[in-house]
Amino acid sequence: MKVSVVSRSGREVVKGGVELKDSAKVADLQEAIHAKTKKYYPARQRLTLPAQPGKSGKPVVLNQKASLSEYCEKGSGSLTVVFKDLGPQVYYSTLFFWEYVGPLIIYPIFYYLPVYKYFGYEGERVIHPVQTYAMYYFCFHYFKRIMETFFVHRFSHATSPVSNVFRNCAYYWTFGAYIAYYCNHPLYTPVSDLQMKIGFGIGVVCQIANFYCHILLRNLRSPTGSGGYQIPRGFLFNIVTCANYTTEIYQWLGFNIATQTVAGYVFLAVAAAIMTNWALGKHSRLRKLFDGKDGRPKYPRRWVILPPFL
Amino acid sequence: MSTKTSNKQSGLATAYLIFYNVVLTLGWAFILVLTIQTALKWKTPKTDILTAKSIYPTVEFYLLVFQTAAILEVVHAAVGLVRSNPILTLFQVLSRLIVVWLVCYPFKDAKNSLGFSLVCIAWPIAEIVRYSYYAFNLINFVPSFITWCRYTFFIILYPLGVTGELICIYRAFEYVAPLNIRKQYSYFLPNKYNVSFDAYYSFFIVMLLYIPIFPKLYGHMLVQRKKIVGGGAKSEAKKTQ
């Protein structure tokens, strides 16, 4: 079968098109495009069907695992696909690693090294116990996230554009430094012993719960990352759609109760806003997908992210 | 920012948006007139341009009112009256508000600087074109001349405005540097909530933020220009094909 590959403006991306076997899959087409263009490896490619005149809405994205013949019009032995370059890609695990390794290194720098000298604070620095616990807590958190990235998470999509690395690292590294600056400051004011214990207590419980949520999410997908959307079940997922975010948010709340810095609460608010946005999207997708019609299961009534508020 | 209205736009909402954009066009036009009038009255032009002394008191009230009114644009985006991202709109308005309220209003070194003169030229022209473009857009009648201005003037006005803003911020930054002055505008540790605010470092960070943001927005506008106005001779060639 003959496949012509064009850009959105209609220009041919592969001169003369690609000739493939009738049984070829979309993945074979992507390999062929890569071989011809050299530059565009499969993860960089986004292939869609050309927009039908008179029809509005999102174009149909070709599924990598599907057979090309599924997209052919009946009887015709040819196909036209629209090619979009997604730009250079990195693995999600690489992206996550660089996001998390920043705070993991930056925080102890503020704890161990005499950085405050350069901010104009001379003299001996007395370290409160809460500052030491906070340093271990903070580092454990990011260490856990790196370990989960490599050994627990299964990604539905393997890669992300390189530009996201810079944006996300700027976010995590800056907030990491901002929080570390106040938590390790020579003029830091600690909270009462009881408040510290309550805070870290909540935090540790939530981190363990968060880890269990990630295990449950992992089991929804096959090792290759396929499996599509499923109703998450078990443990906190029976109450909340995005229990993984719930535990993450309450975990930071615990840290903030124990350390009590405005910087920490600002980070909590921003992170909660971002995660709420994702959670609303996921919740509505699941509700749409599992509508209880035509034998599909009905999505159960659940909180979205932050019981008892949302 | 776009004033592309959503499909289910009521007549009332459109009327309100037209009113808003017309009022702001006129407001900024008035600020421009005041600026030019003052500049024409300058007796010793060289020193007056460099200090902008007489501009600030003349335009202060109108500048504060019409620049602060831009907060409504964030509200419009947030309630879905216009189809633009409220967060991005907020950041665009925020930088202007910082310059007006936290830099020029409290610090006389900033308001009497050359930077303020530049701001008083660049902002009003840019805003007159922008708001009138939106207003025409709402009645579905945009003179191509306005579109051309909207996507051309920024090439000069945007760097000019940013230069002016940076000069103003730098002047305020310089002024608060000594510790005894900085104390009046800052909040230091230790305190119960472990929070501090340092005017000096804050101005420094604001200036630093221009480095990644300015090229990004400028590049975005250049792309928009290519899309809407076209690349001059190139687009002509395309048409004849």
Three-state helix/strand/coil letters over A84-137:
EECCCEEEHHHHHHHHHHHHHHHHHHHHHCCHHHHHCCCCCCCCCHHHHHHHHH
Burial class (CB in 10 A: 0-12, 13-18, 19+), B125: buried
- 10 Å Cβ neighbour count for A29? 25
Q: Does A56 touch chain B (CB under 8 A)?
A: no
Interface probe with B: pick from A116, A179, A256, A262, most Cβ of B within 10 Å: A262
Select from B7, B183, B194 the residue whose CB has the most chain A CBs within 10 Å, as the one to mutate to test that interface: B194
Q: How far is A186 from chain B (nearest CA, A)?
A: 9
Instruction: Write the single-letter amino acid at B1.
Output: M
Burial of B132 (0-12, 13-18, 19+ CB in 10 A): buried
Residue B239: its pLDDT value, please? 41
* A179: its two tokens: 């929080």
Kindly list the catalytic residues of B: 158, 165
- Cβ of A189 under 8 Å from any chain B Cβ? yes
Phi first, then psi, for residue A13 (nearest 5°) are -85, -40
Q: How far is A262 from chain B (nearest CA, A)?
A: 6
Measured CB to CB, residues of chain B less than 8 Å from chain A are 188-196
Are A188 and B194 a contacting pair at CB < 8 A?
yes
Whether A188 contacts chain B with CB within 8 A: yes
List chain A residues with pLDDT less than 50: none
Distance from C-alpha of B164 to C-alpha of A271, rounded to nearest angstrom:
34
φ, ψ (nearest 5 deg) of residue A46: -125, 115
**ipTM beyond cut 0.85:** no
Q: What is the DSSP string of B113-140?
A: SHHHHHHHHHHHHHHHHHHHHHHHHHTT
Q: Say what the pLDDT of residue B96 is.
A: 95
pLDDT score recorded for residue A56? 67
CA B9 distance to own-chain centroid: 27
DSSP secondary-structure letter at A303? Answer: B
Contacts of A183 in chain B (CB under 8 A): 194
CA–CA gap between residue B182 and residue A121 (Å, rounded)? 16
CB contact under 8 A, A261 and B191: no
Say which DSSP state A79 is in. Answer: E
Contact yes or no for B192 and A260 at CB 8 A:
yes
Which chain B residue has the Cα nearest residue A260?
B193
The nearest CA of chain A is from the CA of B18 a distance in Å of 29
Two structure tokens written together for A59: 């174009």
In this complex, is the C-beta atom of A177 within 8 Å of any C-beta atom belonging to chain B?
A: no
Q: Which chain A residues touch B193 with a CB distance below 8 Å?
A: 260-262
Say whether A188 and B190 touch across the interface (CB within 8 A): yes
Q: What is the pLDDT along chain B (241 residues), one digit of tens a residue?
A: 444 444 456 889 999 999 999 999 999 999 999 999 988 887 766 666 677 777 899 999 999 999 999 999 999 999 989 888 888 899 889 999 999 999 999 999 999 999 999 999 999 999 999 999 999 999 998 999 999 999 999 999 999 999 999 999 999 999 999 999 999 999 998 999 999 999 999 999 999 999 988 999 999 999 999 988 875 544 444 443 3
Q: Which residue of A has its CA nearest to B195?
A: A262
Chain A residues in contact with B90 by the CB 8 A cut-off are: none
Which helix or strand (DSSP H or E) is residue B56 part of? helix B55-68
pLDDT of residue A168: 96
Question: Do residues A203 and A258 make contact, with C-beta atoms less than 8 angstroms apart?
Answer: yes
